[in-house]
Amino acid sequence: MINQAEARREFQGMTLSQHCPSVSHLLFADDSLFFCKATTQDSMRMAQILKDYEELSGQKVNLLKSSDIFGMRIPYSRKQHIQSVLGIYNVGGGGKYLGLPEQFGQSKTEAFQSIVDGVKKTVGGWYNQFLTAAGKETLIKSIAQAKPVYSMNCFLLPKQTCEKVDSILSEFWWGTNEHGRRKISWISWKRLALPKSEGGMGFKDLHCFNKALLAKQAWRLLINPSSLLARLYRGRYHRSSTFLESVGGRNPSYGWKSIQAGKSLLKKGLQVRLGDGEDTSVWDDNWLPVLPPRVVQQQGHRREMKVKDLWKPGIREWDEDKLAALLDLEDARLAKTIRLSRYAQKDEYVWPYTVDGVYTVKSGYWTATHIIPHEDQIEPPPGSYTQTCIMEDKDSAKTPTFLLEAQSVWRCANFVTLDGQGTLEENIRKLMSFTEIEDLSYEVTQPQEDARRGLQAAMEWLEANPEKHITERQRHATIQWEPPPEGILKCNFDSSFSRDSDSMAVGWIVRNHTGMFMEAGWTKLPQVDSPLQAEACGFLYVVQRIWCKGWRNVWFEGDNLELTNIINQQKKSMELVISFVILTFGFGSYHYAHLATSTGKKPSSRCLAKAYLRSQNSCMFLSSPPVWLRKYLYFPFTL
């Protein structure tokens, strides 16, 4: 009804500028927001639409729970008149909606103070409970740090707000004594925010996490430029530039400023997946397959040069002469590892820190904390974590007391000598040199005791894990080759990849529904950059080989789960996926499945992929299985 009225120009929605689309309504769950001009005609038409809706649907709008929001320049007399026309007398705009401020003043810290109060109230209810460290960790990660997530999805929280939340959580983590005083924080919260593998507890760095969440919004604006929000921002802030090239603009909203903060993280991790090469700059875009993404190291003078100019004329192949002339050796090598699809597609951005190339908050947070340096970033401590923390705190007044207590304890052992002549740092290092488990256990226990305990542990393990005698034939039978339906062939393939080699290889074997050998082979291919890309290139070659043989009803089976998910879900995260999709259109029956192999098991296709090492031929097609391959084929259906 609203769309029809707007189409007939009976009333007009809100427009931020002449280049922005008109917005007449927004719907969220059971809430509705309607926009129109503050005129008598538009107000009467809106009131009539609401009345017609009530008569047709049987649902009545609760005017007592509704409110009007007016622009700052609307005179008071007109506000009263519009309120009487609509029958809505509540004035909104200064409160909160879904926990978010409807309007922002000068102080953003005051606007988000409710987040700090909410976390403090939540944590305050846990103080009277007896909680272990594991219980505190769970509560902090799953509840306390999850409370501000919705707000951080939309806005960039001030650093002061994040620091207040961190202070509350730090006090809860370390606890208080019987007098209600805060205990000593032996490790800073920044260090506790490191992953457990790096000496921390895995708590979130709220500021980095906030940027990772906002980068998700920026990613959506980048890949969905036709969405309503993207068109609004484009018309308001970057009409003459792309989203990635946009800046703050004149008098920007706080929402747009927050998106810009997330975009700064996104830009540093984006990579271009080459299609037709017409939109990607050779010098300014991150198109090389390297992590972290970067531009080429050797900059040229033709700034307008595109990646397509590095290809051979009329052929989708790299021109090695141009690569050698324009790029340095490392960049030229990286460029040649990019396999170009034969089917022209537009260049597009991908997120290289995920398998499918789609940005995720998890990968963005890892990038923000590990790849991109930022203010107050904490590096993982090298060597002994405890030693490093004490050494960094050597000027603290509590450290000498700690050292004296440690000396009195270690003097009880006959293998530590403290003469009292060394400096504070020397004594700490001497004590810490005995805290490695291997040295300490050897000094405390005698070798005979170690041997006795080792024998006892070995006997217990043997009793709990009795030896199982498995014959070679039984091992082959543990993973069986499943035949396809009648009239369909099955092709097993595998790729061989090594970073130390200048080439890769793929092997394949084709059998029918009875297990009869149809064809096998192996071939060398140009080197690629990763095992996943090797599997993809090998699969593309096998599909082309099957197509040339005239077989149209074929099932394929490989052992790479990532490639299986990409192909079956048609995730365009690789340059070769579009080639797979187009080639498989011509098959009458097509299926791709994942083959799970046990540790140490060598499928026949893997043996074929390794066969080129023993052969002088770079390519081999077999119409009958070689002797060394038959043991993998003829029991009754083995790999």
pLDDT 10s digits, 176-215 = 777 767 788 888 899 999 998 888 899 999 999 999 999 9
H or E stretch at 593: strand 589-594
Q: Tell me which DSSP letter residue 196 carries.
A: G
**Do 623 and 519 fall into the same domain?**
yes
| Residue at a domain's end among 328, 350, 372 | 350
Provide the pLDDT for residue 346: 86
**What is the model's pLDDT at position 474?**
46
Q: How many CA atoms lie within 13 A of 29 on its CB side?
A: 3
Task: Extract the tokens encoding 450.
Answer: 């170690």
Q: Is 258 exposed, middle or buried (0-12, 13-18, 19+ CB in 10 A)?
A: buried
Same structural domain for residues 218 and 189?
no
In a domain, 253, yes or no: yes
SS3 511: strand
361 assigned to some structural domain: no
In a domain, 303, yes or no: yes
Give every residue of the chain whose pLDDT is below 50, as ranges.
Answer: 383-387, 391, 394-398, 414, 435-438, 441, 469-478, 599-600
The reply to whether 306 falls in a domain is yes
Q: How far apart are CA 136 and CA 131, in angstroms?
A: 6
> Please, are residues 495 and 594 in contact by the beta-carbon 8 Å criterion?
no
Q: What is the pLDDT of residues 111-147, one digit of tens each?
A: 889 999 999 999 888 875 678 889 999 999 999 999 9
**What's phi and psi for 444, nearest 5 deg?**
-75, -40
The residue among 350, 377, 394 that closes a domain is: 350
> Whole-angstrom distance between the N-terminal and C-terminal Cα of the chain?
64
Q: Residues 302, 277: contact at Cβ < 8 Å?
A: no
Secondary structure E strands in 274-420: 348-350
Number of domains in the chain: 6
Are 628 and 614 a contacting pair, CB within 8 Å? no
Residues 238 and 289 in one domain: no
One domain, residues 247 and 165: no
Could you give the CA distance from residue 14 to residue 69 in angstroms, rounded to a whole number? 13
**Is 275 a member of any domain?**
yes
Q: Are residues 487 and 603 in the same domain?
A: yes
Q: Please give the torsion angle defined by the CA atoms of residues 182, 184, 188 and 194, in that order, rounded to the nearest 10 degrees.
A: -90
The two tokens of residue 503 are 């080439």
Residue 160, φ and ψ in degrees, nearest 5: -65, -40
Chosen domain end from 214, 245, 269: 269
> And the tokens for 423?
């400096």
Q: What is the pLDDT of residues 476-525, one digit of tens each?
A: 444 677 888 999 999 988 888 887 777 888 988 899 988 888 888 888 88
CATH of the domain at 559: 3.30.420.10
| Shared-domain flag, residues 483 and 587 | yes
Can you give the residue range of the structural domain that contains 37? 2-92
d(CA 188, CA 157): 21
Q: Note whether 568 and 505 are same-domain residues.
A: yes
- Residue 508 pairs in a beta bridge with 493, 521
C-alpha torsion sign, points 212, 214, 215, 219: positive
User: How far is the C-alpha of 36 from the C-alpha of 20, rounded, in Å?
Assistant: 15
Within this chain, do residues 225 and 342 fall inside the same structural domain, yes or no?
Answer: no
Query: Are 236 and 191 members of one domain?
Result: no
**pTM summary value:** 0.72
Q: Are 287 and 213 in a shared domain?
A: no
State the DSSP code for 100.
E
Residue 153 lies in a domain: yes
Q: Are residues 529 and 583 in the same domain?
A: yes
Q: Are residues 496 and 598 in the same domain?
A: yes
Whether 448 is in a domain gets the answer no
**Is residue 555, in this structure, part of any structural domain at all?**
yes
Q: Which residues contact 413 (CB under 8 A, 6 or more apart)?
A: 443, 444
**What string of DSSP letters covers 102-117?**
SS--S-HHHHTHHHHH
Specify the residue for token string 């993280």.
Answer: 265
